[in-house]
Structure 1
């Protein structure tokens, strides 16, 4: 059986609930909804470490944060990992290409890909190496060539990559970073297909070094959006800016847990914005999604026109979500659903036996599961370094496999300590290591986490809290930070963005 091609679509900061086909009250994603109907949407997918850098480690390495060592956001730490998703596929005979955001260090680290067309989108780190100021961004060089302006920059409009300020993209839509990711991806597909037709190339090794006529590809199309800056094309921004939107959910615990903040700073993680600012931010965010929806359709249509669609595994995930005002919180890193829950969609060629139009919410899946899934699709062994599990059995409609994780442990460094969470998809427990504050949510009955059951002193609630507290101590026992002593959680432990025992090898 010929090995399938693989297309991995990565979107940045896309909430797990933000599909019109999943019942979202505002955003319109008709093409993604249509594509999701050809495969499986995993409705209980999470990012264990919900910011860009540690989440991408899970995606590219197939590892838990305990293994890859990144438990928070820290730039400038080398990615010296010997085994990667792209590296395994390259060694297995795949032609491998990444387009768009990598967010690794050094910036041009290929992470096993044979070629990378880079656009990280994060201001100073994205434009140039921050140590020697050499240009590293391929999109920026292309933008300057296309516009004929040697000083052109994607930040010329003045809004930055972590604020709620929103405005339409000021240039032609074809020059938008979202379009560039798809255009470069299409260039790769056309060139690869033409090479197959000519019978050239050496196949890149693996399985006897077959010729390029039979060589499959692995393409990662990695979008920087819907992450800020909120600068979608005008049509996408305008279709939401005057649309009525429900108020963000605010839990009865919000002020007690994170303080009665009244910040109006443009990049505040905890804020109370006026209605107009919030409306424009949401219009920019959802506008990015509608724009990406159409551009992904453009990419999938190209797969079809090149005769590749039926032979290609397509997987879409996000590194994390966006709180967008839930509980007066913005951006990511926290364990609440808007931040930690992510999209995870998978469609496969017929020979892999996947179901169509399936929604699986009976198992918690995570970014670390992408690598073993795609390697199994390719017929390649899963390295011992991988902690994740292939979701192919779930995609085929089989029962949850024996030994599947009963719950997921996630964490992220935060002000005053680490914030940990455990979830089985039905309940979620949160523990803040700095002061020992804890929360419990019934996700089945309260999906927007309005009511903290840990605040209710009923025997049943306190029994559930104690159960999850014990599971958290079990998950953290033996960690070098000293979160657990004599089997109990210990508050007040100082932490960093790397686990100390593995920081030197990250």
Structure 2
């Protein structure tokens, strides 16, 4: 184990993107998306194919990253702005204690916006946040002009420029158009440029922890034209639509550019999908740009790299868009661990199928750094899994596999307060059980036979025992919760959902 505060500690490069689906990697078999740099990180590292975010929206997902905790313990069970972040132990804070120079570039999405949460410095672009943009909002302590470093920089390059110049809403998952300024001014390029500058000005006597946090491919879907051109004529498959999904749209919800469901005109949807994929390839190229410079500084082999997303994007699956729902497009995320210098002894090229979650990032990073993992952390280090090789049935398992996976979580509990679609769900990566807390509706998917979640098998006789098992598991998960969703004997529908648990507001 590395010694805290010594040169033996590796640098940590933590790369997150916002709203990227689990399947949008060439190496994962996507028929359209091109991700050469991420593919190479996966080919020479370890890809976790069953990674999830327990609460799939920006704020609770980032709380899991910062604290290593489950939603029940970090307290954010839905999307709610302007609730202060007062966590005593955070991933960057623990790394700073262990001798690291800690830096974030890009999206934090905490409150107040300038809270460092253990970082020595933050250069910020959170994207368009409504509570900061509204000048009349007395609840917002930080107006956008004060907290967004990218916007200040952009206006130095292009006077009076703004994030809304394209006319695209920050939640518009069904409309797109190309970026109209030079590519170097795009927020994706800016995050990399600022991260490269950090390499120049970092403390050379310390290992560094750099969180390179991109807003895209979260809307607006505004890729530079060169990347949109890669996809504009591609044969893009139509999204899957389950037998349980809405089949008609009498209210024409799909015409709303910021809808979360509805039948979107096919031409508009194809353009949005092309732009979404283009943003991912743009990100991939810029990540490749940073890795080249990291190598120029001689730090590539001294750096552990983690790549993931905070949540996914439904992108028309089952006529749904955005996130917060428990389906694979929303809750399942890409996850790659790479160790160019082979300091950790990872099984290069392995694909792991255990269910991991964003809470596992903090203990993994601290484990790699040789730093103390706080008792309050719920997640577990995935390093032993990454050393154990592939668990695929067609490959011989390493002798260390049994010890590595012994006691790994049997399932993940996820949730999201989301109005009438508020949900709780359980998965082991092979099955998924969903309970909608406001209506009591249940869904069950056999992910091995039905990976696209096309058939709700909750009423199929062959799965009756499975559903009883999963329902009982959820009753146990929720019986101690303050909302009252479970009395220990049954699930109780109709309880008002809470986006934030009471102890955070005390």
Global fold match (TM > 0.5) = yes
Contact 2:419 2:497 in 1 (8 A): no
Tell me by how many angstroms 1:262 deviates. Answer: 3.5
CA contact (8 A) 1:128 1:135 kept: no
**In the alignment, structure 1 residue 166 sits paired with structure 2 residue 180:** no
- Matching residue of 2:504: 503
The whole-number CA distance in structure 2 between the counterparts of 1:260 and 1:249 is 20
Partner in structure 2 of residue 78 of structure 1: 84
Q: Does residue 1:475 correspond to 2:474, yes or no?
A: no
User: Deviations 1:175-208 (Å, cap 9, x if unpaired)?
Assistant: 000000000000001222xx53xxxxxxxxxxxx
**Quick one: which of 23, 26, 30 aligns to 1:17?**
23
- Other-structure match for 2:396: none
Contact 1:100 1:118 in 2 (8 A): yes
Please name the residue that 2:463 is paired with.
461
Does the 8 A contact of 1:236 with 1:287 survive in 2?
yes
Please say if residues 261 and 272 of structure 1, whose CA atoms lie closer than 8 Å, have aligned partners that are also in contact.
no
> Aligned runs of 1:229-378 on 2, under 5 Å?
229-255=220-246, 262-263=252-253, 264-348=255-339, 349-361=341-353, 363-378=354-369
- How far apart are 1:261 and its partner, in Å? 6.0
Distance in 1, matches of 2:321 and 2:142, equals: 33
Give CA deviations for 1:117-160 in whole Å, capped at 9, x if unaligned: 0000024446688346352110011111123x1x2113211111
For 2:134 and 2:104, how far apart are their aligned partners in 1?
A: 19
CA contact (8 A) 1:413 1:496 kept: yes
Gaps in structure 2 of 5+ consecutive residues = 3-7, 389-399
Shift of 1:394: 0.6
Query: What is the CA–CA distance in structure 2 between the aligned matches of 1:455 and 1:278, rounded to whole Å?
Result: 33
Q: Quick one: distance in 1 between partners of 2:424 and 2:416? A: 7
Contact kept, 8 Å, 1:127 with 1:140, in 2: the verdict is no
SS of 2:60's equivalent in the other structure is helix
Structure 1 residue aligned with 2:161: 152
Counterpart of 2:456 in structure 1 is: 452
Q: Distance in 2 between matches of 1:238 and 1:259?
A: 31
Work out the CA distance in 2 between the residues paired with 1:75 and 1:331. Answer: 18
Deviation string for 1:71-110 (max 9, x for gaps)?
0000110001111000000111100000000000001111
2:147 maps to 1:136: yes
Cα distance, 1:499 vs structure 2: 2.1
SS in structure 1 at match of 2:417:
strand
Q: Which moved more, 1:154-163 or 1:396-405?
A: 396-405
- Structure 1 range deviating more: 411-420 or 102-111: 411-420
Unmatched segments (≥5 aa) in structure 1? 197-211
The aligned residue for residue 51 of structure 2 is 45
State the match for 2:489 in structure 1.
Answer: 487
Cα distance change, pair 504–32 in 1 and its aligned pair in 2 (3 A): same
CA contact (8 A) 1:107 1:136 kept: yes
What is residue 106 of structure 1 aligned with on the other side? 112
Q: Distance in 2 between matches of 1:423 and 1:331?
A: 21
TM-score (norm 1): 0.92
Is 1:402 aligned to residue 406 of structure 2?
Answer: yes
Q: Give the equivalent residue in structure 2 for 1:64.
A: 70
- Conserved 8 A contact 1:417-1:492: no
After superposition, the CA RMSD in angstroms is 1.6
1:179 maps to: 189
Structure 1, residues 205-257: CA drift from partner, whole Å, max 9, x if none?
xxxxxxx2xx100000000000000001001112212211111000011129x
TM-score (norm 2): 0.92
**Counterpart in 2 of 1:207?**
none
Matched, 1:3 2:5: no
Aligned to 2:198: 188
Work out the CA distance in 1 between the residues paired with 2:488 and 2:408: 28
